[in-house]
Structure 1
Amino acid sequence: MDDLVQRLSQGDQPVTVGGPKPSLEEFRKRVEEMGYVFIKFTATRGGTDLGVRIDRAATDLSKAFFDQATGVAHIEGTLTLNYVPVRCVADIQLESLEGTGHLVVLAESTAI
């Protein structure tokens, strides 16, 4: 398995909202309208900014109060990292746009 994928799938890691304009307003728009967010794993060299297609059925915004900038957004979605299909699971504190997350390997690529 890819070293980066393996490291990011070993328990919760520190994350922050990533992307070109990380702000609460941009995060909310991406979660609610676009269905695509950036989650940055900050404990890697230089950080690893991942684009995640949101799985609306698994994402939980019931404790996220965007208008008050409080609470936690539970984000889940899929992507391919270094040819390995993974699910990103992250809990983002809206006050700081930081939280914890990890990857779940969906299937390993058999390509050489």
Structure 2
Amino acid sequence: MNTHSDGIYHVVVNHEEQYSVWPEWRQPPEGWRSEGKRGSKQECLDYIGNVWTDMRPLSLRRSMTQGKLPEQAPQQQEDTGETLVQVLSTGQHPLRISLRPEASPAQLQRSLDQGVVLVTFTSTQGCTELALNIDHKETRLESADFEKGTGEVRFVGRLVLDDVPVLCEAVVDLQTMAGLGGLKVINIKSVG
């Protein structure tokens, strides 16, 4: 085991263009490569601070620039005092599928099969990502061709948002991996 500690570091970067500092005498972890900058730990951190200005992963930046968001998402509204549940329970809202490293019809099919799908409501302030526990009985895949990436998926998922049990109903176009959805509050009646 190498106990080398000369204080020389290098900047490493991964496929998502995320940066880190790594001791020069150690091999970078799998999936990371040397970016070329070397020096003291502080010099490397200063370098990263100057070059890594957009900390979103590359796949997210690409999906946001490739038109995967609805064309005319409603303007974000001022804070009306409504809770997120109240806002998303009123009407239909633009959303997109959130899968990593990239949203694709094949990945969506796997997520549906596994019973959990991540969706991001794009019209809320800062966007809202929710993990839905899929209700397979209510989900409709008949018009979806996952291999060709065409058609649409209608799915229902359950979750608890801000201590409120809700259903999320959504329709997603497989070509754009975006669509519309909304929440419905689940009324839990106690049995006496």
Could you state the TM-score of these two structures normalised by the residue count of structure 1? 0.89
Structure 1 gaps of 5+ residues are: none
1:97 pairs, out of 166, 170, 177, with 177
The one-letter code sitting in structure 1 at the alignment partner of 2:112 is: V
The match for 1:44 is 124
The one-letter code sitting in structure 1 at the alignment partner of 2:84 is: L
Higher CA-based Rg = 2
How big is the shift at 1:76?
A: 0.2
Q: For 1:33-112, what aligned pairs fall within 5 Å after superposition? A: 34-107=114-187
Name the CA shift for 1:19/1:66 in 2 (closer, same or farther; >3 Å): closer
The one-letter code sitting in structure 1 at the alignment partner of 2:107 is: E
Q: Aligned partners of 1:22 and 1:88: how far apart in 2?
A: 22
The one-letter code sitting in structure 1 at the alignment partner of 2:167 is: R
The one-letter code sitting in structure 1 at the alignment partner of 2:146 is: F
1:19–1:49 contact (8 Å) kept in structure 2: no
Between the two structures, name the one with larger relative contact order (CA 8 Å, sep ≥ 6). Answer: 1
More strand by share: 1
The one-letter code sitting in structure 1 at the alignment partner of 2:162 is: N
Give % identity.
34
1:84–1:107 contact (8 Å) kept in structure 2: no
The one-letter code sitting in structure 2 at the alignment partner of 1:82 is: D
Q: Aligned partners of 2:99 and 2:133: how far apart in 1?
A: 13
How big is the shift at 1:19?
A: 4.1
1:17–1:98 contact (8 Å) kept in structure 2: yes
Could you state the TM-score of these two structures normalised by the residue count of structure 2? 0.53
Structure 2 gaps of 5+ residues are: 1-81
Task: Please provide the CA RMSD for this pair.
Answer: 1.4
1:27 pairs, out of 105, 108, 124, with 108
